[in-house]
Copies of this chain bind each other. A is one copy, B any other.
């Protein structure tokens, strides 16, 4: 009987089970069709198409193409916001419990005027415009002193929680820092106190030496499958230079990040036939941007498996795919 393995995620402190009896090859996860399976796939009803949002909504940011002919990206308030900056961020007790009003910001980044595109199919300058949009809104939202954390994320496809086909991502800014984030900070702090090194920098150095989990790299970024990946074909994209704060990305890094993001998502798109996925940019909370032990990264999670009761109760993931096999599949 083949031996199974359990691996520890150095960043989150959680374990992941790799079971030989449940093993699949990455190509087993190829999607049956290119159909997005979203209910409303028509341009006619799309709130992000053409100039519809101009009539009804405030455009928070617009980036034009180089000829200034048309808009490339637009940011608008989410019509169904999870949080609301008309509320206030004060905590209160409700009996023995703590609560607060739903203070925060919730914005939509419309990534292109073209309804049919996605990051894998957009041109590089268009993706650079998306990253620049993220950067500008990130810095703008951090000007609100009540905001403690900004989460930039993308839901692609129905299984990833998307309800609209038109290419878009979202930004949520909260006045709370979740326990989830503090735990990762504490893991990184303990590592730093032991080794006097950033754990993420050490992971990068080790991965670039080992090479077996690397998908692709350029002069400023590395894209790889993490050692204890929780999901099949999970991808982390990390800046090579130590940098806790996404907001301090340089123009050169912006281009390099856009390049490797397009490349990584294109590999998923073409090799797995456009699977649903989420990505999120994990960046430092307020007051942590200068910390020597934190490092921002983009985490891409294809939605190819269904977490069940065991994951709910234990926090342990069961991954039917092996990170080194996934990396080779995505690399070649």
Contact = CB atoms under 8 A, between A and B. Distances in A.
A184 to B, nearest CB: 9
A83 B20 CA distance: 9
A160 interface: yes
B176 A316 contact: yes
A206 interface: yes
A153 B313 contact: yes
Nearest to A13: B179
Interface residues of A, number: 79
A302 to B, nearest CB: 12
The DSSP consensus for interface residues of chain A is mixed
A83 B19 contact: yes
A315 interface: yes
Interface stretch (A27-35, A65-73, A89-97): A89-97
A38 to B, nearest CB: 12
Interface stretch (A1-9, A53-61, A113-121): A1-9
Given A22-B82, A174-B316, A280-B312, A227 B97 contact: yes
B14 A180 contact: yes
A4 B101 contact: yes
A183 B178 CA distance: 13
Number of copies: 2
Given A17-B102, A19-B83, A161 B306 contact: yes
A81 interface: yes
B84 A4 contact: yes
A331 interface: no
Nearest to A96: B206
A156 to B, nearest CB: 9
A147 B318 CA distance: 18
A203 interface: yes
A315 B12 CA distance: 12
A4 B102 CA distance: 4
A278 to B, nearest CB: 4
A227 B4 CA distance: 39
A84 B1 contact: yes
Interface of A: 1, 3-8, 10, 12-15, 17-22, 79-84, 86-87, 94-103, 149, 151, 153-155, 158-162, 170, 172, 174, 176, 178-181, 183, 202-203, 206, 210, 227-228, 278-282, 299, 301, 306-310, 312-316, 318
20 contacts: A3-B102, A4-B102, A5-B101, A6-B100, A6-B102, A7-B97, A7-B98, A10-B97, A14-B180, A15-B178, A96-B203, A96-B206, A149-B314, A153-B309, A153-B310, A160-B309, A178-B315, A178-B316, A278-B308, A279-B309
